[in-house]
Amino acid sequence: YDGLNFKDKAFNGWKNANFPFTNGFYPRILHSILFRYDIFPTLRKKETRLIFVQPVSLYFDASISVLSHNVIPYIWDCWPCYYDKLERWLTKHKVEIAVFSFDQERKEIQKRLPQLKTIHCPEAIDTSAYQKGKDLQSRPTDVIEFGRNNNIITGLDKKEKIRYINTSLYSERPSDEKFAELLANAKIAICFPKSITHPNIAQGVETLTQRFWEAMVSRCVPWGHCPKELSDLIGYNPVIEYKDENQLDEMLCNIERYQSLVDRNHETAIRIGDWNKRMQYLHDEICIL
């Protein structure tokens, strides 16, 4: 969604914590080259820079930084198909510290590169970009699906009595404000990790992504499956675990039962799930190393 890019929000969280930062810029003509090729040499530098990267765009995200600085990459969306690429890049540029949003990914790279110091720092969101919304009984939308589509709970658009919204079916992506409003108006949000919706890509890697925080801070009932990373981080399961599609009717008929859960989830997301606090944690962890 416009302005809700996770790397932008993480970067803003770092700035909001008053840590040093610089904005990167690449001439447009270099974009294609930098995306495909790791063209810069490895040099030993005095200064260190934290950079936000994805393996799919690793060379672009990190290219000029590796020339001018020692780098500490904060790595998102590193599915098993990228492990070899990431290992080669970390070795080539003599990276000493790396931060991972997936803990399973961190453990795998740590096995391959025992000398590498690693930090697990789960995804977060800018909680101020979302709305608390009304209590569940007063919300007009029954179910919302957003981001990556699930392939587990299907056919909701054909149920006449279910007021269902799927943002991927919109002709244009909703603005930040509209997206926050849609969430705040929904009783239930479908929330599955990629390990369930796209097992061929995740290959057993189950991780916490921002959709869970977005549902929690908006006081929707998350319905799907809770990644272990999330329950370990906050100390409880904030998700109603999916059993079958008949479960939905029971949930909607008794939606008030979940009010205490969504209230607790909202408080937890504000307290733990914000990028400002995540970046403070990351800064402290890096300083310890």
The whole-number pLDDT of residue 23 equals 65
Lookup result for tokens 């840590």: 19
CA 216 to chain centre: 13
What the block records as the tokens of 212 is 């869970």
The secondary structure element, H or E, covering residue 252 is helix 247-253
pLDDT attached to residue 73? 94
Is 168 in contact with 146 (CB distance < 8 Å)?
A: yes
- Which pLDDT does position 41 carry in this prediction? 80
CA dist 167 and 182 (Å) reads 9
Q: Cα–Cα distance between 285 and 263 in angstroms, integer?
A: 30
pLDDT value at position 215? 98
Which residue type does 180 have? A
- Per-residue pLDDT, 29: 72
pLDDT tens, the chain, 289 aa long: 344 456 778 878 877 776 766 766 666 677 788 888 888 887 767 788 899 999 999 998 888 888 888 899 999 999 999 999 999 999 999 999 999 999 999 999 999 999 999 999 999 999 999 999 999 999 999 999 998 888 899 888 888 889 999 988 777 788 889 999 999 999 999 999 999 999 999 999 999 999 999 999 999 999 999 999 999 999 999 999 999 988 999 999 999 999 999 999 999 999 999 999 999 999 999 988 7
Is residue 126 within 8 Å of 1, Cβ to Cβ?
Answer: no
State how far the alpha carbon of 138 is from the alpha carbons of 43, 73, 95, 185, in Å.
Answer: 59, 44, 52, 8
